[in-house]
């Protein structure tokens, strides 16, 4: 497998640093899962970590943007967001059912005390990182 190049915008670090300590740890776990999923996915040589709408966002050449955030107005939850016009969340619901809590067609939402189902979430992240290569498949190759 080829080496993954991660290009991180300095503004992303400022966002992570701005989270309260207990949230920073949770968001760091999501961030690391994106990095792991990208490293484990054949054909991904470069991952761009930037800000979109003020939220940490992840882009690949053939993927759909992934965003993540915690918001003070919903202090007991954090989320990973996917493009709402894609088939991503719809497919996650089909494949994983009640494994996750969803927000419409755009997000997987976690309560602060939730145990993250790592294998399943990494599968979702991989589908997003390769979306334009797998969107023609019934379950996005999951």
Q: pLDDT of 42-93, one tens digit each?
A: 999 999 999 999 999 999 999 999 999 999 999 999 999 999 999 999 999 9
User: C-alpha angle with apex 126: 124 to 128, nearest 5 degrees?
Assistant: 75
Residues 6+ apart with CB under 8 A from 117: 96, 99, 100
pLDDT at 99: 97
Give the DSSP H/E element, type plus range, for residue 68.
Answer: strand 66-70
For residue 54, what is the DSSP state? T
Q: Is 72 exposed, middle or buried (0-12, 13-18, 19+ CB in 10 A)?
A: exposed
pLDDT at 1: 52
The average confidence (pLDDT) of the chain is 95
Percent of the chain predicted with pLDDT > 70: 99
- Residue 40 contacts residue 60 (beta carbons within 8 Å): no
Confidence class for position 121, pLDDT limits 50, 70, 90: very high
pLDDT at 37: 97
pLDDT at 112: 96
User: C-alpha angle with apex 113: 63 to 104, nearest 5 degrees?
Assistant: 45
pLDDT at 66: 98
Nearest Cα to 40, choosing from 131, 135, 123? Answer: 123
pLDDT at 25: 96
- Whether the predicted pLDDT of 2 surpasses 70: no
The domain over range 5-133 is classified in CATH as 3.40.50.2300: no
């Amino acid at each position: 497998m080829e080496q993954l190049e991660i290009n991180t915008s300095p503004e992303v670090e400022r966002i992570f640093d701005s989270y309260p300590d207990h949230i920073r740890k949770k968001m760091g776990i999501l961030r690391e899962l994106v990095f792991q999923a990208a490293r484990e996915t054949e054909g991904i040589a470069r991952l761009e970590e930037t800000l979109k709408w003020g939220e940490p966002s992840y882009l690949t050449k053939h993927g759909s943007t992934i965003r993540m955030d915690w918001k003070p107005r919903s202090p007991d939850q954090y989320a990973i967001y996917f493009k709402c016009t894609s088939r991503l969340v719809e497919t996650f619901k089909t494949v994983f059912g009640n494994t996750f809590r969803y927000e419409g067609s755009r997000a997987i939402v976690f309560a602060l005390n939730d145990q993250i189902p790592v294998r399943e979430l990494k599968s979702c992240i991989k589908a997003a990182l390769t979306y334009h290569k797998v969107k023609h498949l019934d379950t996005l190759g999951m």
